[in-house]
Structure 1
Amino acid sequence: MNKIRKINALSVGMALLVGVALPAYAAPDKLTVVVTDEPKSLDPCDTDLSGNSRVMHNNITEALVNLSPKDGSVVPSLATSWRQVDSLTWEFKLREGVTFHDGKAFDAQAVVAALKRGQDPSLACEVGLATLKGIKLTAEAVNPTTLRIKTDVVEPILPNKMSALDIGSPATPNDGKTRSPAGTGPYKLAAWTPGQSVTLTAYDGYWGDKPAIKNATIIWRAESAVRAAMVDTGEAQIAYEIAPQDGTTGQDHAFPNAETSLLRIDAQVPPLNDKRVREALNLAIDRDGLVGTVFHKDAQKAMQVVPPSVFGFNPDIPVWTYDPKKAKALLAAAKADGVPVDKEIVIYGRIGIYPNSSESLEAIQAMLADAGFNARLEMLETSPWLKRLLKPWEKERKPSILQTQIDNTEGDAVFTLPNRFTSDGNQSTIADAKLDKLIADASKSTGDERKKMFQEAFRYIAVDAVNIAPLFHMVTIARVAKNVNYAVDVQAGNEIKLRTVSYR
């Protein structure tokens, strides 16, 4: 397609950057993993953001339960069993003999403290703003190994939600975020050198199977070609988010990563507050032309922000067609009614959010221009991008669309919808009472009723609200050194399972 810039092979300059070093093997007790960007927080209550989670979750900190990557079922971690006592009460039996990295004992009181901290509005914890949003949880330590959690509304999948609450030491400060987390995981934090690396070392007192590799370093590089080359030269053993044009060797493993890429439309600012303009924006994007060029050839066109594996996915919503003629007609009709369709719209992108993230927006910007939009592209580093993603925003802000991804490895729509599509959601650009009620009612329902209402919510977002331009259910690539045993799975975007890595 002539709108999409060809992506060049690795340049001479890149060859000079990585040098001509021959492949080298790391020391048997050391591992280096290279990711796209630096975590923004290493506080246990901030693992709802994937950039933080991949370093923290099940490496430094752990939750009461985990979710199986195979089917999303709830499996034991720091809790060994759980049961529903009544409609508003759940009881968890906790693992004995577990200690935090600072020597303090893991017990029910530690979970009480972590849950209270995670919901503290003054801390603005990501788990409180996302997974635990809209529900008040009160925990009680019945005894050191028995925990009861009461909810203010019916919460039929509370155990699933507990997979997002990483438990930090009771010594974690309550008056601010920590940069020195102490968890119960197989690794403890050795150092966080801002702008350079996070270094972990195996925790000798870990309750479970000990990791095969004692020392792990996580570093970040923005360019896919650089990350891939680092594995070839032995500077790293695992590299994530390799671009399709770079992932062409036998060491590159492609897998669905539970992420859905999209453009979030700020539907509260003219001209994007007019539904015709938002529909035109979707019709102007040639998704077929993007697959196999900028995006992986196996990426699936999306109409909603969860993949088909998620409970509540609606299979009856058709994907947007590419129809620039209709897009122009909608803009013309809106302009005739006084909508300022010529006003500049800023496309905010995030550098390295996924491979070819800049190239994808350059192509989309050209498509929007062809349809009659006045769009300007602005690529941001992660910190300024997060300020565009999360509330509070400036009241007098420019009309904009934001490049983002939404992942759902938990298997239920409740982990996606409330924070992003309700009026008080921390990432929501829409205020719609009907949608709020749909999501709230679905969240407290069970079985077929829950599924039906979530499906209706997704249909409403796609057909009535149109406050997103969904792109693709994503496929990503990881490059793994030849002498390393590491099996990537659907959770790899949120969790680097360091304990499972070994050398051959």
Structure 2
Amino acid sequence: MQSTAPPRLRGGRSRTLAALAALTALVPTAGCTVANSDATGSTGTAGTTLRVVLAQEPPTLEPCEASLTSTGVVVRSNISEPLIERDPESGELQPLLATEWEQTEPTTWALEVRSGVTFHDGQPFTAEDAAFSIDRAVNSDLACNVDGYVFDGKDVEVAATGETTLTVTTEDPDPILPLRLSFIEVVPRTTATDAKVREPVGTGPYAIEDWETGVSISLRRNDDYWGEAPAFPEARYVWRSEPAVRAAMITKGEADLATALNPEDATEDNSVAYPNNETTALRLDGREAPLDDIRVRRAIDLAIERQAISDTLFDGLAEPAAQLVPDGVVGYNDELAPTTPDPDAARALIEEAAADGVPVDRRISLIARNGQFPRVAETAEALQYQLAEVGLNVEITMLDTAAHLQYQLRPMPEDAGPVALLIMHGNQTGDAAFTASQYLLSEGAQSTFGTADMDERIADASALSGPERADALADVLAAQNDDIAQYAHLAHMRGLMGISGAVRYEPNSASGDELRLSEVRPADQEGS
């Protein structure tokens, strides 16, 4: 693994680099001991149990929340499955629980579902279950993440027209409805609709054996699975918040897979780097002063030393970003370049805003999530330093997943003051319309504000297909930078997954959100 040397910085920028270097020195090295490692219950189970160590315990296993990374990494394609799946390498849609789909009318799609599939509790899977799952995730009052993130909060009409056929009708023509359906996990029609479930029943290759809160989640192989049987009879998830601990568990043979390792803990023997489609950014809440002034938001964008952060804190496993989606996503704008840092220009904007009465000295809360990505706390400290250098008063707040979600998703906390939220967005759909409707629309589930013009741009782009769609979405991303500046983009990330010598697995861009256990094989298995 090769790391790019930090760029040469002149004048005041050298102090920023020095601060980053000092922060990096605070990060623990890999030469650590694993506290309470015997408590994992993993030692000695290699060969029959696939052992996975996560950065955090999933907040829920509810399938309609599987578009949340911390839930989807366990649930998606392991416990439950969608009708259609997107190949993370090619971007093509492939049959799963649905075998065929076609657009029969401008607003209607017809689907054929697979026969001979059963749920973990023995119930047969039919088109009624598929229709129920769509209706439950999109039209109910459960406030599922997939409803806002994938379907933009718009209801659909869905009906089973036969034992294996169903139709889905949208209010307006939707050229990418099959892609949206790939985010809905199928559950039996006996599933509760008045509350989210803790231990779901699905059709996947694994079923839940036990979830001991705060300790572990155990899965057992579904021997009646309709597809190819996974190699491991059992799987067990534990979680350790310290990346060095997760890496040490791989090295010591206490885990087979570990998510989100830090660069300093990674070696050629214990990890693999992979593109994870994640983009980090600061979301600037434009509802509160001083962030309601675009000059202040532009100043923040100009203050950030993206290359220094990428090189020093991310060890070169990131590229400075100019937009919320990486290359390869429909709508990626290859004409956008990361903002060149200019602290002097940033200070001038702050001073200009102050002269007009903007309260630029008001404290801004920089909120980040523990375990959000490697060295997240150090990244927050670097951003705090850089913003202070241009005259802003920033205080860091580190939160756990549940508390961070309160700021990330609507309805957001009232009277929280000005907030710069550190986010990490992974567009696993391959289409920037999902990013735009979620993060840029005025009433988007993860947007704090917007404009009527931006809303119209997003609506128009979402109705198009082919090259016209890509161009229109690229214009949307450019307009965010030119006209709104709700986001100060940081970096397109690469992940580091710990993989022991006992297993074979090739991570891909979806692995951080959808870690398919059926793709993991014992190292000594023939053909692996």
Give the shorter-chain TM-score range: over 0.9
Percent of pairs identical after alignment? 37
- Counting only pairs closer than 5 Å after superposition, residues 29-428 of structure 1 correspond to structure 2 as 29-428=48-447
Which residue, out of 28, 35, 39, partners 1:17? Answer: 35
- In the alignment of these two chains, the number of paired residues is 503
Residues in 2 aligned to 1:229 and 1:27: alpha-carbon distance in whole angstroms = 16
Code of the aligned partner of 1:437: E
Structure 1 residue 351: Cα displacement: 0.5
Q: Deviations over 1:82-134 (max 9, x none)?
A: 11112111111111000111111111100111111112352101111210124
- Tell me if 1:3 matches 2:19: yes
Which residue, out of 467, 491, 494, partners 2:510? Answer: 491
Code of the aligned partner of 1:162: L
Residues in 2 aligned to 1:348 and 1:193: alpha-carbon distance in whole angstroms = 30
- Taking a change above 3 Å as real, the CA distance of residues 392 and 24 of structure 1, as seen in their structure-2 partners, is closer
Q: Deviations over 1:373-392 (max 9, x none)?
A: 10001111111111111111
Q: Deviations over 1:413-465 (max 9, x none)?
A: 12211122112211111131111111111111112221222111101111210
- C-alpha contact (below 8 Å) 2:24/2:378 kept by paired residues: no
Code of the aligned partner of 2:386: M
Give the ranges of 4+ consecutive aligned residues of structure 1 lying more than 4 Å apart after TM superposition: 8-13, 18-21
Q: Deviations over 1:194-240 (max 9, x none)?
A: 22221111111100000100111111111110100011122211111
Q: Deviations over 1:110-163 (max 9, x none)?
A: 011111111235210111121012433211211111111111111001111111
Code of the aligned partner of 2:94: V
Code of the aligned partner of 1:431: G
SS class of match (2:225)? coil
Residues in 2 aligned to 1:3 and 1:73: alpha-carbon distance in whole angstroms = 44
SS class of match (1:15)? coil
- Comparing 452-461 with 242-251, greater Cα deviation is found at 242-251
Residues in 2 aligned to 1:9 and 1:260: alpha-carbon distance in whole angstroms = 22
- What TM-score, normalized to structure 1? 0.97
Matched with 2:483 is: 464
SS class of match (1:185)? coil
Residues in 2 aligned to 1:394 and 1:227: alpha-carbon distance in whole angstroms = 33
- Tell me if 1:445 matches 2:445: no
Structure 1 residue 15: Cα displacement: 2.5
SS class of match (2:283)? strand
Structure 1 residue 14: Cα displacement: 3.4
Q: Deviations over 1:28-77 (max 9, x none)?
A: 11011011111111111111111111110000000011101111110110
- C-alpha contact (below 8 Å) 1:79/1:95 kept by paired residues: yes
SS class of match (2:32)? helix
SS class of match (1:2)? helix
Residues in 1 aligned to 2:144 and 2:437: alpha-carbon distance in whole angstroms = 16
Code of the aligned partner of 2:388: A
Identify unmatched segments of 5+ residues in structure 1. none
Residues in 2 aligned to 1:16 and 1:128: alpha-carbon distance in whole angstroms = 40
Residues in 2 aligned to 1:396 and 1:292: alpha-carbon distance in whole angstroms = 36
- C-alpha contact (below 8 Å) 1:24/1:233 kept by paired residues: no
Structure 1 residue 13: Cα displacement: 9.1
Aligned Cα root-mean-square deviation (Å): 1.8
Code of the aligned partner of 1:419: Q
Residues in 2 aligned to 1:37 and 1:16: alpha-carbon distance in whole angstroms = 16
- C-alpha contact (below 8 Å) 1:72/1:409 kept by paired residues: no
SS class of match (2:52)? strand
- C-alpha contact (below 8 Å) 2:290/2:362 kept by paired residues: yes
- What TM-score, normalized to structure 2? 0.92
Residues in 2 aligned to 1:283 and 1:476: alpha-carbon distance in whole angstroms = 26
Structure 1 residue 25: Cα displacement: 5.7
- Taking a change above 3 Å as real, the CA distance of residues 78 and 12 of structure 1, as seen in their structure-2 partners, is closer
- C-alpha contact (below 8 Å) 1:247/1:477 kept by paired residues: yes
Residues in 1 aligned to 2:106 and 2:50: alpha-carbon distance in whole angstroms = 46
Residues in 2 aligned to 1:434 and 1:195: alpha-carbon distance in whole angstroms = 46
Residues in 2 aligned to 1:111 and 1:254: alpha-carbon distance in whole angstroms = 36
Structure 1 residue 27: Cα displacement: 3.3
Residues in 2 aligned to 1:16 and 1:133: alpha-carbon distance in whole angstroms = 44
Code of the aligned partner of 2:64: C
Code of the aligned partner of 2:33: A
